[in-house]
Amino acid sequence: MAGLLSASYLFRRASFLYQVRSISTLSLRVSRERSVVYSTPAKLSFSGYLGVSRASSLSRPREQPRFTSFRAISTASPLRPARASNMVAEDFEAVLKAKYPSKSHAKRVVDLIREKIPNANGILYLESRMTKLLEDNDEPEPFRQRRFFYYLTGCNLPDCYYIYDIQSSKSILFIPPIDPDSVIWSGLPLSIDEALQKYDVDEVKLTSELNATLAHLGQANPQSTAYAIANQVSDHVTFLEFEKKNFDALKEAIEVSRVVKDEFEVAMIRKANHVSDIAHRAVLEKAKTAVNEREFEAAFLERCVANGAKEMAYHPIAASGRAAATLHYVTNESPLEGKLNLLMDAGAEWNNYAADITRTFPLSGKFSKESREIYEIVLKMQNDCIAVLKEGVLWDDVHLLAHRIAIDGLLSIGILKGDKDEILKARTSAAFLPHGLGHYLGMDTHDTGGNANYEDKDKLFRYLRVRGNLPSGSVITVEPGIYFCNFIIAPYLEDPVHSKFIDSAVLDKYWDVGGVRIEDNILITKDGYENLTITPKEVDEIETLVSN
């Protein structure tokens, strides 16, 4: 990977980062409660917050690998604070009464395309997910809207099309006509007038008019370009009247634009967090009576659906005991008898926008000595990492801070031994924290724009899904963890490079802890951050909710 920092620099920088932990508990609590609402950015740019030579509040940034020609959004024109408030449910509900801002998204995307193609003209063309039956019966596949289409339309219907005329800034949504044979089964589809009232578009037509409209637009400007996404154009659709076709720029521009959220998008993520919080509390309250992991999954799903979120951002993880050391455990079928803790990683989706929250709690209502020690280390990792977040911070540095705190914590309880700088240099802490600190969040749980480098030779950063400086208006998860997975740790115990740093006799006391992860969703602001997740995570709060 280009531009890896030297080991000595990493250690000097990590030592500086570790000093940031002197922030008082009071200031941490005040920061968590701070709430800022954002308005639409005036301008976005490709010219880059990833790999740009600009001063970070934590360290100088280093050059990042370039996996696409569209690398990032500049922080030169971030989302601007519109007003300060304690954002409560009524506030984001008021924002969500408006239409999804698809026109402003289209304009942002065009601006980004024109940064790479200055005289770009023609149309943006997108298709929704099409209705498709399961391969072995007449039931439809579960519907999940294409995120690129939704970003420019706000439409969550199948079998639709979209055109945006760059020159006139006019948007057209194409919806299916009435099919008399399907009305008896599915009811009447959305009408043209209803669609105009519901969506932020200039015109609505029937899908039967699509090719004629494409032909008209192409003939009116024969030298223009049709911008579409490869493998997302139906066979019956033609761009014959357009001189040029571009199947790369549109997708890449939308991916970049999605990194920075506008006020409406942040409100969607708030709503998803609000519903998920209700569901996570129901899970905590279920602990004293549940006998199987599936009961926690059921409790979470029931509360989400009851509160209007019928779709999950991802399959819930309800991992008890040692299963919590499996990062994406989704079996959720094991009995709870004899288990110490349960790790619940679950998030609702609100109109295609995700929450991603993890809590770990004692099934008995009281953490065991070993479980509490690990939990408090992870909580400190999360709190201290969140405390340093703001616009321009290099995410690599925050990830490194998490490892520094993990090493200190594991040294304090005796699992690790030796010099902490040597442990970091050897990357021994990756045995207990094998994943990245977090990822961007939005319409996808692992949202666009992260610029990950899964070929990184440095195993500490190989699974870090975000590389580069964080822009204001982005939403990122902070999800440190410590895990006791025998499959992962065993090779470290057999390798003399690492085994000298691990006290296996002490380690044996912690296998039943399984794994502890704590995850919140953080909005990055110009001067700091806002935690969008309100689900309890302090030890006394967790134990009280479970016990009661």
Shared domain check, 477 and 337: yes
> Is residue 489 domain-resident?
yes
CATH number of the domain to which 145 belongs: 3.40.350.10
DSSP class of residue 230 equals T
84 lies in some domain: no
Say if 80 falls within a structural domain. no
Q: What is the pLDDT of residue 478?
A: 99
The answer to the question of residue 93 being in a domain is no
Which residue among 257, 274, 305 closes a domain? 257
Residues 458 and 506 in one domain: yes
Distance CA 341, CA 298 (A): 18
Amino acid 18: pLDDT:
35
Evaluate whether residue 81 is within a structural domain.
Answer: no
284 conformational bin, left if phi > 0, alpha if psi -120 to 50, beta if neither: alpha
**Do 349 and 392 belong to one domain?**
yes
Based on the fold, state whether residues 250 and 266 are members of the same structural domain: no
Q: Are residues 350 and 253 in the same domain?
A: no
Does 274 lie in the same domain as 195? Answer: no
Q: 516: helix, coil or strand?
A: strand
Structural domain contains residue 86: no
- Contact residues for 168 (Cβ-Cβ < 8 A; gap 6+): none
Residues 168 and 276 both lie in one domain: no
**Interior angle at CA 315, CA 345 and CA 312, nearest 5:** 95
CATH at residue 478: 3.90.230.10
Domain membership of residue 72 (yes or no) is no
What pLDDT is stored for residue 548 in this prediction?
A: 86
Same domain, 281 and 425: yes
Block means of pLDDT (10 residues each) for the chain, 548 residues, are: 36 36 32 36 46 35 34 34 46 95 98 97 98 94 98 99 98 97 94 98 98 97 95 96 97 98 98 98 97 99 99 99 98 98 99 99 98 99 99 98 99 99 99 99 98 95 97 99 98 98 99 99 97 98 96
How many domains does the chain divide into?
A: 2
pLDDT in tens, 409-457: 999 999 999 999 999 999 999 999 999 999 999 999 999 999 999 999 9
CA 34 and chain centroid, separation: 21
Q: Are residues 126 and 207 in the same domain?
A: yes
196 in the same domain as 300: no
Q: What is the reported pLDDT for 2? A: 38
Indicate if 422 and 350 belong to the same structural domain.
yes
- From 239, 257, 275, give the residue that closes a domain: 257
CB burial readout 514-527, b (16+ within 10 A) else e: bbbbbbbbbbbbbe
Picking from 257, 289, 319, the residue at the C-terminal end of a domain is 257
Q: Do 308 and 237 share a structural domain?
A: no
CB 117 within 8 A of CB 249: yes
Range of the domain at 113: 102-257
Assess if residue 314 is contained within a domain: yes
